[in-house]
């Protein structure tokens, strides 16, 4: 026998509420300028994007002048 939660999840009411929530989240994402995942609309870039390159950090210990002997 299914629990109350399982019955609710399988109900038409849950399906309607879930669809409304997804639609609302997609509208909020578009309003914030973020296309939702799987959105088939094509958004053109408004400006060229800058590419930022981060160099690797320098080691804190200096390199040895002579190699270690084991």
d(CA 53, CA 70) in angstroms, rounded, equals 39
How much is the pLDDT for 19? 93
Query: Rounded to whole angstroms, how far apart are CA atoms 51 and 53?
Result: 6
Please determine, for residue 63, whether its predicted confidence score (pLDDT) is greater than 80. no
pTM of the full structure? 0.46
Q: Express each pLDDT in 10-47 by its tens digit.
A: 999 999 999 999 999 888 888 888 876 776 666 666 66
Look up tokens 């109350």; give the residue: 4
Residue boundaries of the structural domains of the chain? 8-32
């Amino acid at each position: 026998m299914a629990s109350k939660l399982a019955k609710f999840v399988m109900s038409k009411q849950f399906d309607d509420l879930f669809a409304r929530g997804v639609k609302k989240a997609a509208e909020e994402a578009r309003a914030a300028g973020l296309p939702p995942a799987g959105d088939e609309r094509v958004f053109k870039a408004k400006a060229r994007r800058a590419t930022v390159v981060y160099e690797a950090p320098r080691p804190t210990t200096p390199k040895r002048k002579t190699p270690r002997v084991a």
